[in-house]
Amino acid sequence: MGFWGRHPECVTGDVPKSLVGDFDAFRRYGYELQVLEHDLTECINEFRLAYDHYYSNPDDLELKKFAIVYHTDNFYVRVHKLIENIYRLLGLMVDLIPTRRPRPGEPSLRESVRSGLRERKLQKIVRLLGSFEGNRWIQEAVKARNLFVHQYREEREWAQLFPQDRFREPEDPIARAIRGIDQATDLDRYAAQKIADLSKTLEVVRDFRDKLFNTSQENVPRLAREVGESGERRKQGAH
């Protein structure tokens, strides 16, 4: 749906509702993914605006450092959320309830989604997921996000959550990389490289979105036929 907004054919075409379980949820996750992809783009734009314009004065060096950490964190948190929503979207395609928490000993949602995709002969989507999550830029984003969020959860009075102290956190690799930079020109070079890295991550997200759409579209006729045949068998068995 919205996640594939760059493909007009998915807006005008008919999506068999029987393929996705809770169709309203399927549509909602699709729109949320579209918004998240837009947010990733705007994180980069705001990042660039902050160090090129808002804090371009050499006297604003510390504010520029904070802006780098702040916008990078925002980007990485959204990448993690995007992955979660992708699994929830695909979960609806394999008869799962994405919001249900697995009981102890049960497989995670991601494991269940991959298993369900294999059962529906959608191994190509499983491979796409593996390639996407194994990508260098995606792994870096998830690792950085987990470090930041887990520290926040463990220390609710964490001083580094305040703007004036955030980038001094010793365990934050991004903050550690810029802490010793004391020249505006050096910081600008670092920021430019970080924006280039985030842009590569966004390219990976967009490439995955296109491949996921194409693969899903290829399998819609087969899945619709199988769902229809299954429904007919259930009706015949009831008589």
**pTM here?**
0.78
* Better pLDDT: 137 or 186: 137
Mean predicted confidence (pLDDT) in 177-185: 68
pLDDT grade for 55, boundaries at 50, 70 and 90: confident
At 65, list the tokens: 């450092």
Q: Pick the most confident of 163-167, 202-206, 218-222.
A: 202-206
Flag whether 7 is in a domain: yes
Flag whether 70 is in a domain: yes
Number of continuous H segments (helices) and E segments (strands) in the chain: 8, 0
* Better pLDDT: 147 or 196: 196
State residue 158 phi and psi, 5-degree precision.
Answer: -55, 115
What residues have CB less than 8 Å from 59, skipping those under 6 apart?
Answer: none
- At residue 175, what is the residue type? A
Flag whether 239 is in a domain: no
pLDDT for residue 101 is more than 90:
no
Q: Note the pLDDT of residue 47.
A: 93
211: left (phi over 0), alpha (psi -120 to 50) or beta: alpha
Distance, CA of 191 to CA of 12 (rounded, Å): 41
Flag whether 237 is in a domain: no
Nearest to 200 by CA among 130, 135, 137: 137
* Better pLDDT: 143 or 179: 143
| Tally of domains within the chain | 1
Q: Classify each residue of 54-72 as buried b or exposed e, where b means 16 or more C-beta atoms within 10 Å of its C-beta.
A: ebeeeebbebbbbbbbbbb
Flag whether 50 is in a domain: yes
Mean predicted confidence (pLDDT) in 162-187: 61
Flag whether 166 is in a domain: yes
**Mean pLDDT score across all residues of the chain:** 78
* Better pLDDT: 59 or 131: 131
pLDDT for residue 178 is more than 60:
yes
In angstroms, what CA-CA distances link 188 with 89, 155, 195? 39, 32, 10
The DSSP output letter for 28 is H
Question: Tens of pLDDT along 122-138?
Answer: 999 999 999 999 999 99
Where are the extended beta strands (E) located within the chain?
none
Question: Tens of pLDDT along 32-50?
Answer: 999 999 999 999 999 999 8
Nearest to 162 by CA among 152, 177, 147: 152
DSSP run (H or E) holding 209? helix 184-238
Mean predicted confidence (pLDDT) in 185-197: 87
Flag whether 168 is in a domain: yes
Flag whether 233 is in a domain: no
Give the domain range for residue 78.
Answer: 2-227
pLDDT for residue 109 is more than 60:
yes
Helices (H), 121-183: 123-133, 136-154, 173-179
What residues have CB less than 8 Å from 198, skipping those under 6 apart?
Answer: 40, 43, 44, 47, 72, 75
